[in-house]
Structure 1
Amino acid sequence: MTYEELLTETALANEQVIVMTAENRALVRNLPGILGKRFIDTGITEQTMIGAAAGLALRGRIPVVHALAAFLTMRAFEFVRTDLGIPKLPVKLSGFIPGLLSDGNGPTHQAIEDISIMRGIPNVTVFAPADEDDLVKMLPQIWSSAHPAYTRINTRKTWYDHEPFVLGKAEVIAEGCDVTILTYGLLFEQALIAADMLREEGLSVGLINMRSLKPVDEQAILQACAQSSLVVTLEDHFITGGLYSIVAEVLLKNQTTAKVLPIALNNKWFRPALLPDVLQHEGFTGKQIAERILGYQTVHHQPEILTPEFSE
C-alpha cells in the first residue's frame, strides 16, 4: 500500500479527515477528485494552512496537512507552536522531502533541523519512518492519536518488512555486543548494509530503527548502551538537537554513560546532487558508515591490561 492509498482509505472511512496542502500535491495528486470539498489547497501559504487546520481541528476535524518539510517546520513554526502545540490540536503534519531526501535542493529547502525544531514544542509528537512499508504501518496510530504530530514522510521502497508499529516504541532489528546502530528514516537502508559489512568483519552488531523520536523509546536506548561497547547514532540531520542529543538526554536523565559515536551532518548543509551522490559525498553510504565505525573501533580500542602474577 502507498501513502496516498492509505490516506484515501482513511479519509473515506472517516468523514472527519480533511486533507490539506500548501500547493504541494506530489503525495496526494488523486485526492481532489475523490474527496471534493474535503481537499483544501491554500496555495503557497504554510502559515495560513496551519491556522486553517487549527480552526478545522477545533470543530472536530482531523486535518492531514502537506508541505515541503523545510517550510512546514520553519516558515510555519510559530503557527505550529501557537495554534497546534499550545491547544494540543490533533493536526497531522506530513513533511515532504525531509533530510537528504531533498537531495537536489539547496540549503533553503533542506529540512535537516526539523527533528530538533518539532520535538521542542510541547505536545507535538515526532516520527521518522524508515521507508514506505514502515510509513504505512506507522501512520494509522499517528493519525488516530489525540496529539498534533509531525512525520518525516518517506515513500522510498526497500526490501525490509517491518514489524507492526507501537506508538513510542523502537523496532529492534538485531542485538549486538560490539556495536549497536541507532537510526531513523532514509538512512535505515544504509544502516542495514553497514551492519552486514561489520558482521563480515567479525563484529556482533545490533541495529535499532528508532521510528518514534518523541515520544522516544528510552528503554531501547538504555539497553543498547548497556549491551554494546559502542553505540552509533546515524541520522540525516544536524548533529545538534536530533538523535545524538536525544541519546545524551536519556543517558543523563538516567545517570549513566556510554561510548557514543555520532554520524550526522556536523552543523553544515549538504551539497545538492542526486541522492546516491549526496550519500557518497556526505559519507552516508553503508560502506562509508561501516568503515567509519571500524576506524573508530581501531583508534579507541583499549587492549586488556594484564596484571602479572608474582610467586613468593
Structure 2
Amino acid sequence: MSYEELLTELSLADERFVVMTAENRALIRNLPQLLGKRFIDTGITEQTMIGAAAGLALRNRIPVVHALASFLSMRAFEFIRTDAGIPSLPVKLSAFIPGLLSDANGPTHQAIEDVSIMRGIPNMTVFAPADEDDMVKMMPEIWASPKPAYTRINTRKTSYVHAPFEPGKAEVIEQGTDVTILTYGLLFEQALIATEILKSEGLSVGLINMRSLKPVDEQAILKAVDQSELIVTLEDHFLTGGLYTIVAEVLLKHQKTAKVLPFALNEKWFKPALLPAVIEYEGFSGKQVAEVILGYQTNHIQPEILKPQFAE
C-alpha cells in the first residue's frame, strides 16, 4: 500500500480527515476528485495553510497538510509553533523530500535542520520512517493521535519488512556488543548494508531504527549503550539538534557516558546531485560507513565530515 492509498482509505472511512496542500500534490494527485471539499490547495502559502489547518482542528477535523519539508519546517515555523504546537492541536504535517531525499536541490530546498526545529516546539511529535513499508505502518497511529505531528515522508521501497509501530518506541533490528548503529529515515538502507559488512568482519553489530524521534525511546538508547562498546548515529541532518544531540541529551539525563561516533552534516549543506551520488559524495553509503567504523575501532579515526572545515 502506498501513502496515497492509505490516506484515501482512511479519509473515505472518516469524514474528519481534511487533506491540504500548499501546491504540492506529488503524494496525493488522485485525492481532489475523491474528497471534493475535503481537499484544499491553498497555493504557495504554507503559513496560510497551517493557520487554516489549526482552525479545522479546532472544529474536530484531522487536517493532514502537505508541503516540501524545507518550506513546511522553516517558512511556516511560527504558525506551526503558535497555531498548532502551543494549543496542541492535531495538525498532521507531511513533509515531502526531507534530508537527502531533496537530492538534486540546493540549500534553499534542503531540509536538514527540520528535526531540530520541529522537536523544539512544545507538544509537537516528530517521526521519520525508514521506507514506504515503515511509513504505511506508522501513519495510522500518527494520524490517530490527538497531538500535532511532523513526519519526514519517505516513499522509497526496500525489501525490509518492518515491525508494527508504537509512538515513542524504536524498532530494534539487531542487538550487538561491539557496535550499535542508531539511524532513521532514508539512511536506514545504508545502515543495513553497513551492518552486514561489519558482521562479515567478525563484529557483533546492533541496528536500531529510531523511527520515533519525539517522543524518543530512551530505554532502547540506554540498553544499546549498556550492551555495546561503540554507539554510531547515522542521519541525513545537521549534527546539531538531530539524533546525535538526542542521544547526548538522553545520556546526560541518565548520568551515563558512552563512545559515540556520529555521521551527520557538519554545518554544511550537501552537494546537489542524483541521490546515489549525493550519498556517496557525502560519505553516507553503507560501505563508507562500515569502513569508518572499522577505522575508528582500530585507530579512533573520525570521519571526514566531522573534521573542521577551513576556508582556503
Fold agreement, TM-score > 0.5 = yes
Take 2:267 and 2:188, find their aligned partners in 1: how far apart are those partners?
21
The residue that corresponds to 2:132 in the other structure is: 132
CA distance in structure 2 between the partners assigned to 1:231 and 1:21 by the alignment: 39
| Bigger CA radius of gyration | 1
Give, as a single letter, the amino acid of the residue that structure 1 aligns with 2:75.
Answer: R
Which residue of structure 2 lines up, in the alignment, with residue 258 of structure 1? 258
The aligned counterpart of 2:186 is: 186
Deviates more, 1:291-300 or 1:271-280: 291-300
Query: Residues of 2 paired with 1:195 and 1:239: CA distance?
Result: 22
Instruction: Give the unaligned 5+ runs of structure 1.
Output: 302-312
TM-score normalised by structure 1 residue count: 0.96
| Per-residue CA distance 1:69-109 (angstroms, 9 max, x = gap) | 00000000000000000110000000000000000000000
Counting aligned pairs with the same residue, the percent is 80
Deviation of 1:12 (Å): 0.4
2:306 is the counterpart of 1:295: no
| 2:268 corresponding residue in structure 1 | 268
RMSD: 0.7
Which residue of the partner structure matches residue 309 of structure 2?
none
Instruction: Report what 2:71 is aligned to.
Output: 71
Distance 2:101 2:228 in 1: 30
The amino acid across from 1:227 in the alignment is: Q
Residue of structure 1 equivalent to 2:159: 159
Structure 1 residue 114 displacement after superposition: 0.2
The aligned counterpart of 1:226 is 226
- Rounded Cα–Cα distance in structure 2 between residues aligned with 1:117 and 1:59: 27
1:23-172 alignment runs, 5 A limit: 23-172=23-172
**Aligned mates of 1:246, 1:262 — CA distance in 2:** 12
The 2-side partners of 1:229 and 1:275 are apart by: 32
- Per the TM alignment, residue 167 of structure 1 is displaced from its structure 2 partner at its CA by 1.1
Shift of 1:267: 1.1
Q: Point out 4+ residue stretches in structure 1 off by more than 6 angstroms.
A: none
Query: What residue is the counterpart of 1:306 in the other structure?
Result: none
TM-score by length of 2: 0.96
Separation of aligned partners in 2, 1:140 and 1:18? 15
Matched letter for residue 20 of structure 1 = M
Deviation track 1:1-37 (CA, whole Å, cap 9, x = no partner) reads: 0000000001001000000000000000000010000
State the Cα distance separating 1:300 from its structure 2 match: 3.2
Q: Which secondary structure does the structure 2 equivalent of 1:137 belong to? A: helix
Amino acid at match of 2:72: L
Q: Classify the secondary structure of the residue corresponding to 2:167.
A: coil
Between the two proteins, the alignment pairs up a number of residues equal to 301
Partners of 2:51 and 2:9 in 1: how far apart? 26
> Quick one: which amino acid aligns to residue 299 of structure 1?
N
1:176-229 deviation line (CA, Å, top 9, x unaligned):
000000000000000000000000000000000000000000000000011000
Inter-partner Cα distance in structure 1 for 2:173 and 2:113:
26
CA distance in 2, matches of 1:80, 1:295: 43
